[in-house]
Amino acid sequence: MNKLSASDLFSLERYARERGAFRAKVLEHKRARQLAVGPNTTWLFEDRLTVQYQVQEMLRAERIFEPEGVADELASYNPLIPDGQNWKVTLLIEFPDETERRRELSQLKGIEDRCWVQVVGHERVFAIADEDLERENDEKTSSVHFLRFELTQGMIATLRGGAPIAAGVDHDHYRHAIAAVSAATRLALIADLS
């Protein structure tokens, strides 16, 4: 997929005018791209539109309009756009209670490396996690991780032939799996493989 460039972005003024409609469009688009794996993890499968929204929001929040600042944001977020051979996921680990969250994040160290996807009929593909920086320390893991799942040409061909997609987490303190993602999610993910 094509990476974003400055010419793909709205100016701050235009984004202020169009933000409501753009946000609604992106939220609708994200519906098929979100996957709850168990009660406490949400996976957001990123693509060009979800990343554009994130960049636009960062530019808006930080009031960035200088070319160097825009370029820095693009350099930070463009790696989240899949390249046609992979899926890229923002993993959110969610525990509403702060005390429980602290305790659970200390138990879930390494969870980002135990997330997997599977084109049914092929081996599981485990995530390559946090390539930009380490998000875990001696005490706990982060509540946000960035994952990449690399697929083979055989897996992609099998998907296009109708195979279901399974997903899960295989961690000592968090084991959950989805036997087959929804039809809408499957279609959205296949679109990422062009």
CA separation for the pair 190, 177 (Å, rounded): 20
Which pLDDT belongs to residue 194? 79
Query: What does the pLDDT average to over 152-157?
Result: 97
Which pLDDT belongs to residue 17? 96
Residue 133 has pLDDT above 70, yes or no: no
Which pLDDT belongs to residue 1? 54
Neighbours of 102 (CB within 10 A): 12
Give the whole-number percent of the chain exceeding pLDDT 90: 91
Query: Position of tokens 């793909």?
Result: 8
Strands 165-171 and 34-36: unpaired
Q: Please report how many Cα atoms fall inside a 13 Å half-sphere around the Cα of residue 25, on the Cβ side.
A: 9
Residue 109 has pLDDT above 80, yes or no: yes
User: Per residue in 19-45, pLDDT tens?
Assistant: 999 999 999 999 999 999 999 999 999
Residues of the chain with CATH 2.60.40: 32-46+82-194
Contact between 116 and 151 under an 8 Å Cβ cutoff? The reply is no
Mean pLDDT of the chain: 94
Strand partners, 92: 42, 144
Residue 131 has pLDDT above 80, yes or no: no
User: Per residue in 115-128, pLDDT tens?
Assistant: 999 999 999 999 99
Tokens representing residue 137 in the block: 């320390």
User: Per residue in 69-90, pLDDT tens?
Assistant: 999 999 999 999 999 999 999 9
Q: What is the CATH number of domain 32-46+82-194?
A: 2.60.40
**Backbone φ and ψ of 177, nearest 5°:** -145, 155
114 band by pLDDT with thresholds 50, 70 and 90: very high
Tokens representing residue 139 in the block: 């005490």
